[in-house]
Chain A
Amino acid sequence: MDQYLVAFITGLTTGGLSCLAVQGGLLASSLERQLEREMLSRPVATGKKKLKALQRSHSRMALPILLFLGAKVAAYTVLGFLLGALGSVLKLNPVTRAVLLILIGLFMVGNALRMFNIHPIFRYFVIEPPKFITRYIRRTSKSEEFVTPLFLGVMTVLIPCGVTQAMMAVAIGTGDPWQAAGLMLAFTLGTSPVFFIVSFLATELGSKMETIFMRVVAVVVLMLGLVSIDSGFTLMGAPSLMNWAQSWMGAAPVAQTAPVSGGSGVLLLNATNDGYSPRILHAMANKSLKLNMITQNTYSCARGFVIPSLNVEQLLPASGRVVIDIPPQPANTVMQFTCSMGMYTGQIIFDLN
């Protein structure tokens, strides 16, 4: 659930405004024509009458904007499904998923550096749509037909902004069509309120505001990129920098020690919608271990449980218990475990006593 919330908030805070530059412009140009035509078809009005006529025209603008946004949300959801399907066809094992996460992270970091305008080379981190597509979309936006906003909403999939492209990369990384569709749905829904308000008011961000805003977007994208790179390395079995940062800030996870019964240890590990609990487990060295994974209405990626060093990947049921056998480990072994996306992590420490 967390990942959908993150996608929604990303859309709400950064995606909406970053895509407004062109997509909002397309919509506005289409609306302007309609507004203009409507005003011309009315008898000449002055003063209060003119103001009322203008307000009525503006209220009629709500429908095309809603059509545009509805079409956009639907198109991106379908796109998300297709990207997820592409990711699943690629048959991602933890290592390839880790590599993909690292590449996605580098793509995001490169995009953030592009937004900071560090060097023109970073401009190549954003994909430029082919000329025939941009030309076609530009000309269509000038049509006066009522279906135009609907069509333009769908067409926005061809001209995604940097933040949307990053979200599309994350959608591929899920390797699950439904999860990817959900992510893109949450993201585009998140972008809609800002898009609607700004389009409805038919105002544009001043260039100064735009510059400040781009900086904020760049910081967010940079952080998301670094988290993605960290998740990739975690999925490869490296200790998570996020965990390290959390413990450094004093939020140490609760530890649990495995009771030994009949020569093997038993540990309980809850996979919840917020990750794993407890995050640090202690077990006896040189003894086999039964790791009891417990889920209860768990729908987060914590269900995809991975122990990179043992090459274990287990999809847990939404509710239930799954036992994973872990062979004896030498003393002082720190075994990392993670979710399939490298987002939720933890470790089992093998001690002598």
Chain B
Amino acid sequence: MKKMFRILGMHCANCSMRIESIEDDLPGVKEINASYHKGQMVIEYDEKLVMDEQIIAAVKKKGYQAVPV
């Protein structure tokens, strides 16, 4: 499934790259498209393998706050 999150705490274009690296860290995440311009990320994941709480925690670990839209 695809879901959009608002991301708080991004301060540069490269923050989106940091957030997208969750793709490699969290099993079940297929693709992340994060945008510094829009301050959001669109994540495609397998809901059987990963839950929203895990995604929010992974984003927090990178130093940002994710809020489901």
Contact A214 B35 (CB under 8 A): no
Classify chain B: how many residues form its interface, as a range: 10 to 19
Residues of A near B16 (CB, < 8 A) are 128, 134
Contact B37 A22 (CB under 8 A): no
Residues of B within 8 A of A (CB): 11-18, 20-21, 24, 33, 35-37, 39, 63
Q: Which 7 A-B pairs have the closest CB atoms?
A: A22-B14, A134-B17, A128-B13, A126-B13, A123-B37, A138-B21, A124-B37
Q: In the complex the two chains form, what is the Cα distance from A159 to B17 in whole Å?
A: 10
A128-B11 contact given A134-B20, A138-B20, A138-B21, CB 8 Å threshold: no
Q: In the complex the two chains form, what is the Cα distance from A161 to B12 in whole Å?
A: 8
Contact B14 A21 (CB under 8 A): yes
Residues of B near A214 (CB, < 8 A) are 11
Residues of B near A43 (CB, < 8 A) are none
Q: In the complex the two chains form, what is the Cα distance from A343 to B24 in whole Å?
A: 48
Residues of B near A25 (CB, < 8 A) are 18
Contact A162 B12 (CB under 8 A): yes
Shortest Cβ distance from residue B61 to the other chain A in the assembled complex, whole angstroms: 13
Residues of A near B14 (CB, < 8 A) are 21-22, 134, 159, 161
Q: In the complex the two chains form, what is the Cα distance from A161 to B14 in whole Å?
A: 8
For B12, B18, B24, B36, which residue has the most chain A Cβ atoms within 10 angstroms? B12
**B12 closest partner in A (C-beta):** A21
- CB within 8 A of A128: which of B18, B21, B36, B63? B36
Shortest Cβ distance from residue A130 to the other chain B in the assembled complex, whole angstroms: 11
Check if A5 is an interface residue, CB within 8 A of chain B.
no
Check if A115 is an interface residue, CB within 8 A of chain B.
yes
Type the 1/0 row for A206-226, where 1 means its CB is closer than 8 Å to any CB of B: 010010001000000000000
A126-B39 contact given A22-B18, A131-B33, A134-B17, CB 8 Å threshold: no
Q: In the complex the two chains form, what is the Cα distance from A135 to B16 in whole Å?
A: 11
Contact B13 A127 (CB under 8 A): yes
**A139 closest partner in B (C-beta):** B24
Q: In the complex the two chains form, what is the Cα distance from A219 to B14 in whole Å?
A: 21
Contact B39 A120 (CB under 8 A): yes
Q: In the complex the two chains form, what is the Cα distance from A25 to B37 in whole Å?
A: 21
Residues of B near A120 (CB, < 8 A) are 39
Shortest Cβ distance from residue A332 to the other chain B in the assembled complex, whole angstroms: 51
Residues of A near B37 (CB, < 8 A) are 123-124, 128
Q: In the complex the two chains form, what is the Cα distance from A139 to B20 in whole Å?
A: 11
Check if A129 is an interface residue, CB within 8 A of chain B.
yes
Residues of A near B33 (CB, < 8 A) are 131
Residues of B near A131 (CB, < 8 A) are 20, 33
Contact B20 A128 (CB under 8 A): no
Residues of B near A139 (CB, < 8 A) are 24
Q: In the complex the two chains form, what is the Cα distance from A231 to B15 in whole Å?
A: 33
Shortest Cβ distance from residue A182 to the other chain B in the assembled complex, whole angstroms: 27
Residues of A near B15 (CB, < 8 A) are 21
For A127, A131, A161, which residue has the most chain B Cβ atoms within 10 angstroms? A131
Identify 13 residue pairs between A and B in the complex whose beta-carbon atoms are under 8 Å apart, listed by A's number: A22-B12, A22-B14, A117-B11, A123-B36, A123-B37, A129-B13, A134-B14, A135-B20, A138-B17, A138-B21, A161-B12, A162-B12, A214-B11
Residues of B near A18 (CB, < 8 A) are 12
